[in-house]
């Protein structure tokens, strides 16, 4: 007799499908290499670097996530600055070069945005890309989200689940006046700060000032200063034995997340969300937020007082609140609402169904048993895997490459679930030289290859580890941790399924 398909099982199955594979990482690095080759043909961008940011760097992207790219202008060792008009002209040159060279389609120039961007998609895999100029602040914000996941790795799982849920509910599209993925991630941060007991502290306890304002002068020095402050504070928070431990399951956290923001349209009339201070703030008494000109205020904790939800309109805010309210009611009602009908888009449900059918099971009843598991401090099952640490690296001759980090020696063990792109040369993360050459391209929605989504009854849960930042080069050496589902491969195999010597 089949057991009920619970919310906990649904969330597990969703994570197995939306988590990016090694192939998805490879494809995005291929795009960076391709764009680097294009930038290298432009005299006006001589010496510029092509650098990712956004969810790819924070390791909060899904299989179908887009790729945010910044073209950083050469300015010696100093942080470059360029006016909006200059950026617009450079992006027009990049647009022309992309059309000449090929490899991308749907190239659009968005000049009226606060940050001018080029939008395009890769020909091979239809990965959507947003290209901007000198977006170092975006890179550092991405790193901050990457680092705080090391406090509690449930954060990454919650963000991935919330993104798919928000897309299913039609409230994760800033072009239509709803939430962008950054503001959605900040809502998860705020939820973790305000649950009982809190999981995250106010972000002011990790970096007390305006991080973007600190990005001046010598780039390596400015980044290193920020990273060292964050490293010290994150390790202090993690080592605080007096800090109460929140043992809520992922399912409980998601339900309380929906419940917390189901009245968001009412509260937003008088209050704003401040992840920097970790609390709701009265707009009338917060002098730096006045006057109230937005339907919803979610303060950017790394660039106060910017509003990360500035595209949300009044009518759209009602739709957002309705999505929270209706989802909360359906998932907590005694009536039988299948969780996946609330949580995922039809095309994702179709992928999940095909994958389960291929394994002779039905949704929620995978016929393959989980491997040997142990439990982490918050009681979440964690599959045990043998791990060969890998990382991506930018080689000055060959561009971004994915390579073994062990080197045959006793290198540090890095959780594979969050191998954020890291350059280990020159003390500068995520950098691509325009002289470089190339690698390979993630699938979009229903165009994905079904084989990439096969369930195999194996799930690796998150495992927190110490933040390790190298003070010599400012590079975050330990990519943190979060859950990753993996197809069984010879180099990444559940111990219980390893071949035995006969």
Q: pLDDT over 90 for what percent of the chain?
A: 59
The pLDDT value given to residue 400: 55
Residue 2 lies in a domain: no
User: Which pLDDT tens digit goes with each residue over 243-280?
Assistant: 999 999 999 999 999 999 999 999 999 999 999 999 99
The CA distances from residue 307 to 61, 182, 226, 323, in Å, are 22, 11, 22, 21
- Domain range enclosing 133: 7-496
- Please, what is the Cα angle at 44 between 43 and 47, to 5 degrees? 75
Q: What is the pLDDT of residue 4?
A: 65
Band of residue 122 on the pLDDT scale cut at 50, 70, 90 = very high
pLDDT, position 399: 58
For the residues 175-180, what does the mean pLDDT come to? 93
* Rg of the chain (C-alpha set): 22
Q: How far apart are CA 276 and CA 39, in angstroms?
A: 37
Does the pLDDT of residue 69 top 90, yes or no? Answer: yes
Q: Which of 172, 148, 158 is nearest to 258 (CA)?
A: 158
Q: Is the pLDDT of residue 374 over 80?
A: no
Q: Is residue 440 part of a domain?
A: yes
pLDDT tens by residue, 349-358: 998 888 776 6
% of the chain residues with pLDDT over 70: 70
Position 502 in a domain: no
Q: What is the 3-state secondary structure (H, E, C) of 206-261?
A: CCCCCCHHHCCCEHHHHHHHHHHHHHHHHHHHHHCCCCCCCCCCHHHHHHHHHHHC
Q: pLDDT higher for 457 or 53?
A: 53
How far is Cα 212 from Cα 131, in angstroms, rounded to an integer? 20
From residue 273, alpha-carbon distances to 50, 260, 299 in Å are 33, 12, 6
Q: How far apart are CA 157 and CA 464, in angstroms?
A: 13
Confidence grade of residue 2 (pLDDT, cut at 50, 70, 90): very low
Mean pLDDT, the chain, integer: 75
Q: Is the pLDDT of residue 495 over 70?
A: no
Taking the CA atoms of 235, 238, 241 and 244 in sequence, report the sign of the dihedral they define.
positive
Section 303-318 average pLDDT: 93
Residue 501 lies in a domain: no
219: tokens are 């780039």
Split at pLDDT 50, 70, 90, the class of 483 is very low
Identify the CATH number of the domain in which residue 283 sits: 1.10.1410.10
pLDDT of 449 = 30
Q: What is the pLDDT of residues 202-218, one digit of tens each?
A: 999 999 999 999 999 99
Residue 270 covered by a domain: yes
First to last CA, the chain: 36
β-partners of residue 50 are 71
Domain assignment present for residue 459? The answer is yes
The token pair at 489 is: 């491969």
pTM (global) more than 0.85: no
In a domain, 210, yes or no: yes
Question: 104: phi > 0 → left, psi -120 to 50 → alpha, else beta; which?
Answer: beta
Look at residue 91 and tell me whether its pLDDT is greater than 80. yes
According to the model, what pLDDT value does residue 355 have?
75
Residue 396 lies in a domain: yes
Provide the number of structural domains found in the chain: 1
Closest CA to 480 of 499, 467, 493: 467
What is the helix (H) or strand (E) element at residue 106, kind and residue range? strand 104-110
Give the single-character DSSP code of 178: S
Give the residue among 215, 212, 210, 214 at the shortest CA–CA distance from 78.
Answer: 215
Judged against a pLDDT cut of 70, whether residue 385 lies above it is answered with no
Nearest CA to 71 out of 95, 100, 55 is that of 95
Q: From the CB of residue 468, how many other CB atoms can be counted at a distance below 10 Å?
A: 16
Backbone region of residue 192 per phi and psi (left: phi > 0; alpha: psi in -120 to 50; beta: other values): alpha
């Amino acid at each position: 007799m089949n057991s009920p398909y619970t919310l906990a099982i649904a969330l597990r199955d969703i994570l197995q499908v939306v988590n990016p594979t090694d192939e998805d990482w490879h494809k995005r690095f291929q795009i960076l290499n391709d764009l680097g080759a294009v930038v290298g043909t432009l005299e006006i961008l001589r010496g510029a670097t092509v650098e990712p940011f956004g969810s790819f760097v924070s390791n909060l992207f899904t299989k179908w996530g887009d790729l945010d790219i910044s073209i950083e202008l050469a300015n010696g060792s100093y942080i470059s600055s360029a006016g909006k008009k200059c950026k617009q002209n450079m992006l027009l040159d990049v647009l022309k070069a992309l059309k000449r060279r090929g490899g991308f389609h749907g190239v659009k120039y968005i000049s009226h945005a606060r940050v001018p961007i080029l939008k395009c998609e890769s020909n091979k895999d239809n990965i959507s890309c947003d290209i901007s100029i000198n977006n170092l602040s975006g890179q550092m914000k991405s790193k901050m989200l990457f680092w705080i996941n090391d406090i509690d790795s449930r954060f990454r799982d919650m963000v991935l689940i919330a993104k798919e849920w928000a897309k299913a509910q039609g409230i994760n599209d800033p072009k239509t006046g709803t939430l962008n993925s950054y503001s959605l991630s900040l809502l998860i941060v705020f939820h973790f700060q305000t649950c009982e007991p809190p999981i995250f502290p106010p972000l002011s306890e990790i970096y007390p000032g305006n991080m973007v304002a600190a990005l001046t002068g010598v780039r390596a020095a400015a980044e290193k200063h920020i990273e060292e402050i964050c490293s010290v504070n994150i390790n202090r928070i993690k080592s605080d034995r007096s800090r109460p431990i929140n043992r809520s399951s992922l399912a409980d956290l998601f339900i309380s997340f929906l419940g917390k923001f189901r009245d968001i349209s009412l509260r937003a009339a008088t209050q704003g969300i401040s992840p920097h201070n970790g609390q709701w703030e009265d707009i009338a008494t917060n002098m730096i937020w006045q006057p109230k000109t937005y339907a919803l205020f979610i303060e950017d904790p790394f660039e106060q007082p910017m509003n990360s939800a500035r595209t949300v309109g009044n009518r759209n805010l009602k739709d957002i609140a309705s999505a929270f309210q209706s989802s909360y009611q359906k998932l907590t009602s005694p009536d039988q609402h299948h969780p996946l009908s609330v949580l995922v888009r039809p095309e994702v449900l179709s992928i999940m169904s095909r994958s389960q059918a291929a394994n002779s099971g039905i949704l929620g009843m995978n016929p393959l048993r989980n491997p040997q598991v142990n439990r982490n401090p918050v009681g979440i099952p964690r599959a045990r895997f043998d791990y060969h640490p890998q990382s991506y690296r930018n080689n000055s001759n060959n561009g971004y490459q994915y390579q073994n980090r062990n080197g045959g020696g006793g290198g540090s063990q890095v959780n594979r679930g969050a191998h954020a792109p890291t350059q280990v040369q020159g003390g500068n993360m995520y950098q691509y030289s325009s002289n470089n050459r190339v690698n390979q391209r993630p699938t979009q929605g229903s165009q994905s290859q079904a084989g990439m989504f096969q369930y195999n009854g194996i799930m690796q849960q998150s495992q927190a580890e110490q933040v390790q930042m190298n003070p010599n080069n400012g590079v975050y050496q330990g990519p943190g941790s979060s859950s990753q589902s993996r197809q069984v491969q010879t180099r990444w195999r559940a111990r219980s399924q390893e071949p035995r010597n006969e």
